[in-house]
A and B are shown apart, each in its own frame.
Chain A
Amino acid sequence: MINIKVKTVLLGNSKVGKTSLVRRFIENKFIDSDVSTIGGAFVSKEVFSSSYGEVSLCIWDTAGEEKYESVTRAFYRNANAAIVCYDVTCAKSWSRAKGWVSKLRQFEEKCVIYLCATKLDLIKEMSASKAVSEDVLSAYISSVNIKQHFETSSKSGENVDIMFKTIANDYIQLNKENFAEYENLCLTSNDSEKTCCFKFF
């Protein structure tokens, strides 16, 4: 069995709710806090065990503030997956999200990109309107190779767990062959516990 670690990075404008997503996923809590992330924050969580071994997500929650933009590169370098977030009610955060996507496409070809609309509860409960229409969204998604688009709410918890689990699962599906090969190697070298380090740092 091997420990599979999926390096996942969260990107997006300040205040779109990246930290809240992580807290919902890790602690299953929503805390309304107006403290911006400074630099980056790292957390890892086991998501499930696959036939190859335990799968955990290693998540970098980055700071969306402009002043940290120059250090963000370090956080998404070699990421297996990226969750690019935008606030479902905020057009500005959407255009910034597109900026992140093109940056990732430029520097991290292998990174699987997910789009995440946050604060869905605002639409449902406060009857706010969506900043991006369905048409624009689907046209964009098909044009830039986005793996999947999620609509989440950290407040209600809707779709948060599903999103992270999907990411882990996609990673396994994509790298099945590598794992199988690796397992064989391990069997022959008689090592029972090994950490899988494909593409991870």
Chain B
Amino acid sequence: MNTNLIEDNKCDDQNMETENWNVELSGEIINSRQYTNENLEGEISNLTKTLNSTLNFVENEEIYWQTWEWKSKQHIFILSSAGKPIYSRYGNEDDLVTLFGVMQAIVSVVLDSNDELYFIHTSNKHFSFLRKESLLLVSVSQLPSNSDLSIMRLNYIYNQIISILTLTQLTRIFQQYNNFDLRRLLSGSERLINSFIDFTENEPGFFLNSVECLPLSSSVRDNIAQAIISSCQKIRNLLFAILLAENQLIIIIRMKKYFLLPSDLHLIFNLVSSSQSFRTAEGWTPICLPYFDASGYMQAHVSYLSEECQACLLLLTVDRELFFILSEAKQKIVEKLDRNALLQQIKEAMKKPKIFASEFNVPKLRHFIYKNKNTNQFVFPQYEVPYHIPEKQNSLLLLYCQLCQQLNKPFTSLKLLFQQLKTETVLGWDTKGIELYLIFEPFVTKPEAINAVNKLLKYIKKDEDKLFIVNSPTF
């Protein structure tokens, strides 16, 4: 990926709009003049113009763009390989039929020449394309967005769709009916897709590929695990038990040999956080976890522990007949937790505010992320001044995201990164099992920063077994 080119673009004469464009094929950037196949070049050029003007047309119509915060957000479109509208983050897909048509055309033109289209950068819009077997996902942003991140986001959205339908079903439908209107099957699930896109924009867990844990002393956590394990012992086909405190993990218990990846867990978080009804009723919900098994559904028993203790318990199985057995197990779990005052402990831990960077007394440190690479868990302190307003939080997240990507770029051995920027100084450090990102006030020297790292590491190490889930208990 060539970020320079993208930045060059920004300086282009705004009036030239579609005259200057770059297309990234198979990850390589080729601009209009470099591309050898002249016919294709002309075709792509024309289509890009059409794409841009179609978008602008809708924009001028002001059907929905008023609500669109172009600056910080991406527009997302999903269409079928045949070009049928499936989803649009803003506005109504039906108004966008032409746009979808052009998108489909441009992708297939490139495909016909045995190549793959990933990005188009014009002077004021940036398009990312992700082509999957039956679907095409497109994101558009006005700011030169981070291309890798856009593709990662589109992949996440694709996973959300798989999670709703399973890959098997999705493939079968389009094999049978090339022209199928997938909205029929996704209706009612738009909310899940919307909130998952928000998740990728607002939660560091997305680009860190990790989850956050509810701080609890390790003995309490172990006891919670024991209460769950002992209540579920004789249940066959129970794969996972997951206890969540909003978006923080309390514990996950798994069947031997099975694991869940963070991106699957994120789907579970999303399911729970976007459905209030689990608070009243016990859910018995089919869910597909793409990394675990994209081909089929698991069945999730979803319920909150109690009225007072709003932690959410998920029991995942492959057996559709297990509802009442799991329901009973849940009762037992709650009784045990209650008897051992663990419900109370969870409740208190959930009430406690998150940690603040300032409580570590590290001079000039504003904020940080600590990620444990072995367990894919991270600590993200509460936002505080100057990151108390959403706008600033947004740019802080972007900054972290860039740091994270720089450190994790494939084929580089970058381990330490120190940058003095206009409004802050940042440090990223990739070390044994840990990734650290520190945000300081603008004027901080390197020795000061290193000092801060050591101090912080010492504090965190001390509390490690409280901040993170160290054990990985099994049934």
Contacts and interface: CB of A to CB of B under 8 A. Distances in A.
B243 interface: no
B282 A33 contact: no
Interface stretch (B20-28, B234-242, B269-277, B369-377): B269-277
Interface string A72-90: 0010000000000000000
A68 B297 CA distance: 12
A40 B324 CA distance: 13
A27 B280 CA distance: 8
Interface string A30-52: 01011111111111000000000
Contacts of B164: 67
Nearest to A26: B280
A41 B282 contact: yes
Given A23-B280, A41-B277, A41-B282, A66 B271 contact: no
B280 A43 contact: yes
Contacts of A37: 277
B165 interface: yes
Interface string A1-40: 0000000000000110001001100110001011111111
Interface in B268-292: 271, 274-278, 280-287
Interface in B167-210: 184-185, 187-189, 191
B275 A71 contact: no
Nearest to A75: B284
B281 A71 contact: no
Interface string B321-346: 00110010000000000000000000
Contacts of B280: 22-23, 26-27, 41, 43
Contact of B324 (A19, A36, A67, A201): A201
Given A23-B277, A35-B276, A41 B284 contact: yes
B10 to A, nearest CB: 38
Contacts of A27: 280
A74 B320 contact: yes
Contacts of A36: 187-189, 191
Given A22-B280, A35-B274, A35-B275, A42 B327 contact: yes
Nearest to A20: B277
Contacts of A41: 277-278, 280-284
A22 B281 contact: yes
A38 B286 contact: yes
A37 B285 CA distance: 9
Contact of A43 (B187, B189, B281, B320): B281
Given A65-B188, A66-B185, A38 B320 contact: no
Interface residues of B, number: 27
A200 to B, nearest CB: 11
B187 A39 contact: no
B174 to A, nearest CB: 15
A31 B283 contact: no
Q: Which of A22, A34, A35 has the most CB of B within 10 A?
A: A35
A65 to B, nearest CB: 5
A199 B15 CA distance: 75
A35 B277 contact: yes
User: Considering residues B189, B284, B287, which has the most beta carbons from chain A within 10 angstroms of its beta carbon?
Assistant: B284
A35 B191 CA distance: 7
Contacts of A40: 283-285
A36 B165 CA distance: 15
B407 to A, nearest CB: 38
A38 B191 CA distance: 12
A14 B183 CA distance: 14
A68 B165 CA distance: 10
Given A35-B275, A43-B281, A14 B286 contact: no
Given A61-B281, A66-B184, A38 B276 contact: no
A41 B302 CA distance: 9
A42 B184 CA distance: 25
Interface in A128-151: none
Contact of B187 (A22, A23, A61, A65): A65
A57 to B, nearest CB: 12
Contacts of A31: 276
Given A66-B185, A67-B165, A67-B185, A19 B286 contact: no
A161 B274 CA distance: 28
Contacts of B275: 35, 38
B340 to A, nearest CB: 26
B142 to A, nearest CB: 28
Interface in A63-114: 63-68, 71, 74
A139 B185 CA distance: 34
Contacts of B187: 14, 36, 65-66
A201 B328 CA distance: 15
A41 B277 CA distance: 8
10 contacts: A22-B280, A35-B191, A36-B191, A38-B189, A38-B286, A41-B280, A42-B327, A43-B282, A65-B185, A65-B187
Interface of B: 164-165, 184-185, 187-189, 191, 271, 274-278, 280-287, 299, 320, 323-324, 327
- Listed from nearest, the 10 A-B pairs whose CB atoms lie closest are A36-B188, A41-B281, A43-B281, A39-B285, A67-B185, A42-B282, A38-B285, A65-B188, A40-B284, A39-B286
Interface of A: 14-15, 19, 22-23, 26-27, 31, 33-43, 59, 61, 63-68, 71, 74, 201
